[in-house]
Structures are given as C-alpha cells and as structure tokens.
A and B are shown apart, each in its own frame.
Chain A
Amino acid sequence: MADYLVIERLSKRFSAHGHEACRNVSFGVGEKEFVALIGPSGCGKSTLLHIVAGLSAPSSGDVRLRGEIVHAPRPQMMFVFQQYTKSIFPWKTVLDNVCLGIKYQLRGSRDDVEKRGRAQLKLVGLERYADFYPYQLSGGMQQRVAIARALARRPEILLMDEPFSALDAMMRVELQDLLLWLWQEFGFTILFVTHDLDEALYLAQRVIVLSASPGSVAEVVDVPLPYPRNQVETRREPLYLKLRAHLYNSMVQQVVASRAELA
C-alpha cells in the first residue's frame, strides 16, 4: 500500500533567494487513500504539492509513482489549484474548459468529447451551466468546473492545493461533501493540502502535519472516523473532538516554534 505514491527525502531550496521551502520530507500515500497535508502558512506545503505533481523540480529527493520517478506532470495525476479564477480560463465556456484536458487526448469525435464533458458537469451539479462563461458563475461553481475538468481525465490521483480556501463557509462544506462523495464513488487517491485543520480532519483518512519553515513531517495522525461523514454528526463525535484538540496543539507548537526561530 505504501509503495503507491512515495515522497522520499524531498528538499526544495529556491536558488533565487536561498529560501528553503521544505527539508527532508518523506511519506507515502496508499492507493485510493485520502491524505491531508496541513501546516502553518509558509511551511512549503504548496511547493511540496507542486513537486509531487511534477510541476516543479526538487533540490534533492524524489517522488515515485508505482516506483517510477515523477519528473513532469503525469496524465494519471490531476491538480486542482487554489486560484480557480486563473486556472479556469475566462475566455472559454464552462464546457470548453472541462473538455480542454480531453479534446486532444480522446480519439473520439467532437461529440464524444462533449458528451464526456457534459457527464462530468452533471457529476458536479453544473449540467445546466455548460454554455456559461466562468465570470457568470460563483466561486464555488468555478471550483466545481475545475473538479469536473480534472475528473474528465479519469485521474488516479487528485492533487488539491487549498482548493476551497477562497470560498465562503457554506460553499466550502458543500464542496467538501461533494469531494467525499466523488472519492467514494470513483475511488481515486487524494492528496489534499489545507491550512484548515477542521477541513483536514473532516475529509481525510490520514493527516500529515508539517513543521514550520522549512517544512518537514512533524506528525502523522490517523483519522479512523467512518464514512460517509456528516458535517454535523462527524464533527461532534468524541474521537473527532479528541483528534481536533490533538492536531490543534500540534499546529500551535509548530507556529510557536517558527516564531521562536524568527526571533
């Protein structure tokens, strides 16, 4: 299980300003597992996710998918960006955005491509918005478009970089539940970066806490709460509350440690 997606002794130092984003990060993600990555801001979790995706090169260490080193973006890994206003292209309709990742790969006619695109939009509840432009949609709907676009590629792994952090509270819980439903329905692997420990705990089977900058793995917490989870019930289970308190203290520790280092 642990040799599916492996991050091994990964370090990243930016040559331009010598800043070290993360140091010696190692962990594994099992197939179909939902793992959340949390840590104080500036701990390099986003950088880490970009490296896992093959969008940026590590200074040392490597990322392996089924034993093969990842150098460049892989078709079986899809990335969902935090900045949906940029990632969703404003000059394309919702449907054209969703089809962009398959129109050159799928060896079907334009109709086949559009059919698959519409099917993904249906999954995220946007089938009526196929011909809209992104600026006509709310932030939550735009991020749904990004998810539909990722799904269209039939990914094995979803890499999500704080995808819901720019959304308001109600949209965020809606999208959390949508994501959990999709995950259970399609059984892909998710590596989910967030700074929100409630979000991490509610979604994931395992939470990896990164230390403050340069980030390294401070702690790994298993979350044996049953699925399907419920925004009200799950969040008041004793185990949830116990883990929340634990993670909270762990996060505070990291933040305090980083301030002490700065002083």
Chain B
Amino acid sequence: MSGNIARWLQMSRGSGVILILLLLGLWQFSALYMMDTPTWPPVTRILQAWFADLLDGSLTSNLLATFWRQMLGYWLAVALGVSIGLAMGYYRIAYNLMEPLIEIFRPIPGPAYLPVLVLFVGIGDEMKVVLILVASLFPIVLNTYSGVRSIDPVQFDTARTLGLTTPQTLREIVMPAALPQILTGMRISLAISLILAILSEMIVSNNGLGYFTLLAERTFKVPDMYAGIFTLALFGYALNRLFLLGEARLIRWHHESSGRH
C-alpha cells in the first residue's frame, strides 16, 4: 500500500495539484475565520468577482488589449533578434560590429527604458510595443548567435560540397540547426514580454490587464484585483503550454535524436 503511494508520488504530478487545492483551502479558511480584513478576501469572493468581470466583458477586453500589445512587441523582437543573431553567428564582421553594443545594452533592465521611451514616443501603444520589443530582444539575439556558433564545421563543409549558396545554407542548414536554441531564447523572451506589457500598463495606460489590476487595487475592489492576478497566472500558463506544444512539433527531430521523447 505505501509502495503504491510512493510510486504515485514519483510518477504523477497529482500531488502538486493537491497542494494547490490545499493552499486555496487554507486561504479560504484563513480569510473566513482568521483574518477579517478587506485585503484578504475569501477565494469564493474572488471567484464571484472573476465571473462578474468576465460576464460584463471588462476582463476579456483588457486581456485582449494586453495580448495584442505583447504579441506585436514579441514577434517584432523575434524577427529582429533572429536576424541579428544569425548575422552575428554567420559573419564575423557582424559579430565584431554588434557585440560591444549588445554587451552595453544587455545589462540594462527592461523597465529602465520606459522613461526614455515616454520622452520619445509618448505614452501610447507605440511606447509599450517598443518597450516589449527592446526587453525581449536580447535573449533571442544571444541564443540565436550561440546556436549558430555551435553548428559543427562538418555541416558547413557538407553544405559547401553540395554547392549550396549562402542564402540556401542559411535556410537549409543554419536556421534549422540553430532552431532549438532560437526557441530557447524565444521562450525566455515570451515571459519577459508579458512582464513588460503588464508593467507598462500599470504605469501609463487606460486598458490592459496591468491597468485593470492596479485600478482595482486603487478603487478598493480587492477581489477584482485578485481576479486580475489569477487571470494573468492562467494566461501566462496557457501561453507557455502553447509555446511548448509548438516547439515540440517544430523540433521533434531534436528531441528524438537526442534521446528525449
């Protein structure tokens, strides 16, 4: 019997789900019977607010506002970052040209660009999209670069003996060979892009999940604030799952040839 439980703990993440439910139960219990304060509403209260916000459309419209901002900035960062990373990995000249610049800008935390961007592009969507782009750029550039650098010389020699031109080599060899690492960078940046989207909405915006959550706090609608945070958690989780799904399809050869299934 205890053998079965031990096996279940080893094999299944069910215990993790139970832990979450337990913590929610604890929250509910403490809010009802231990801490009678508006800052710590019971979970049931939060769920009520959540459904109300979903029904009147305020949550969905704000979620969509965040989503398109984040996606626009993110995919621009992917296009730009992959191009810069490929160029740096493939051409020594591009590396020498770009590397010092990138090393100077990389340590600057993304939010620090915000005041500068407000000065130059204002407080509209352009600012938020550019902020997301800039902050998401570096992980993609660096991972793409290192993915290209780690391509085996034999693969380049093979491309040469097969008579492939540079654009053909980039398309047939370099891109797919570096794809696993490009995707690693893209996954890191996906999380960053959401952080920056929320942050910029909290600071200057009139819509978006960041705006919604902060506004709820400021207007003492604490259950709605928690509903916003719950939505963010689910949204982030869904994005990551979706990404992993896409990644598994794109680089199945990589997982299977390195013995992971």
Residue in B closest to A85 when the chains form the complex, CB atoms: B257
Residues of A within 8 A of B158 (CB): 79, 81, 86-87, 89
Any B CB within 8 A of the CB of A209: no
Inter-chain contact A89/B161, CB cutoff 8 Å: no
C-alpha spacing A90/B158, complex, angstroms: 13
Inter-chain contact A81/B257, CB cutoff 8 Å: no
Any A CB within 8 A of the CB of B254: yes
C-alpha spacing A53/B179, complex, angstroms: 29
Inter-chain contact A91/B162, CB cutoff 8 Å: no
C-alpha spacing A55/B163, complex, angstroms: 12
Residues of A within 8 A of B179 (CB): 91
What is the minimal beta-carbon distance from B179 to any residue of chain A, in angstroms? 8
Any A CB within 8 A of the CB of B206: no
C-alpha spacing A147/B55, complex, angstroms: 64
Residues of A within 8 A of B172 (CB): 89, 100
Inter-chain contact B168/A135, CB cutoff 8 Å: no
Residues of A within 8 A of B157 (CB): 50, 55, 79, 81
Residue interface bits B136-165, CB-to-A below 8 A is 1, else 0: 000000000000000010110110111111
- Contact partner, B161, options A55, A91, A133, A134, Cβ 8 Å: A55
Any B CB within 8 A of the CB of A153: yes
Inter-chain contact B253/A86, CB cutoff 8 Å: no
Known contacts A86-B154, A87-B155, A100-B172: does B256 contact A135 (CB below 8 Å)? yes
A-to-B contact residues, CB < 8 Å: 50, 53, 55, 72-73, 75, 77-79, 81, 83, 86-87, 89-92, 100-101, 104-105, 133-135, 149, 153
**4 A-B pairs with least C-beta separation:** A135-B257, A101-B162, A91-B176, A86-B154
B-to-A contact residues, CB < 8 Å: 152, 154-155, 157-158, 160-165, 168, 172-173, 176-177, 179, 251, 253-254, 256-257
Provide a sorted-by-A list of 23 A–B residue pairs whose CB atoms are within 8 angstroms. A53-B161, A55-B157, A73-B160, A73-B163, A79-B157, A79-B161, A83-B152, A86-B154, A86-B155, A89-B155, A89-B172, A90-B254, A90-B257, A100-B164, A101-B162, A101-B163, A104-B163, A104-B168, A133-B256, A135-B253, A135-B256, A135-B257, A153-B162
